[in-house]
Amino acid sequence: MRHTAQSMSRKVMIIAALSGIAAFANLSPALAEEMAATVIEKGKAVAFDRKKGNCLACHAMDDGALPGNIAPPIVSMKLRYPDKAKLREQIWDASIRNPNTIMPPFGRHQLLSEEEIDNITEYVYTL
């Protein structure tokens, strides 16, 4: 149940942050787009970092060099995960949906910070 409470708390924080960004975006759409691009760039950097997310060890994705092929390619993510929260959950701990997965539980084992997981989620969702 800890994951559920933690997820709910995290969702509340994200909604509050997005509400603030949305209010600010009404004043400056260009700045809001720049902020979103920065989050996506940070997510890509962590996903491609061989010492952090290391998504390329298993997944072919975007313009990544030397991708692995033991996991599905990361493409059409909006179709595969219409609910972005489910994608984040998959990154946080893939064993929730598949106990036999070899994907590391990045959130549960605190391999990545919550912010890094959020950033990767935003990046992957663009693919």
Q: Judging by beta carbons within 10 Å of its beta carbon (0-12, 13-18, 19+), is residue 86 exposed, middle or buried?
A: exposed
pLDDT score for 22: 53
Count of domains in the chain?
1
Report the distance separating Cα 83 and Cα 7, nearest Å.
Answer: 14
**Residue 78: domain span:** 37-125
Q: Let me know if residue 103 belongs to a domain.
A: yes
Q: Let me know if residue 70 belongs to a domain.
A: yes
pLDDT in single tens digits along all 127 residues of the chain:
455 555 555 555 565 555 555 555 565 777 777 778 889 999 999 999 999 999 999 999 999 999 999 999 999 999 999 999 999 999 999 999 999 999 999 999 999 999 999 999 999 999 9
Write the CATH number for 108: 1.10.760.10
Q: Which residues contact 95 (CB under 8 A, 6 or more apart)?
A: 101, 103, 105, 108
Q: Let me know if residue 47 belongs to a domain.
A: yes
**pTM of the model as a whole:** 0.75
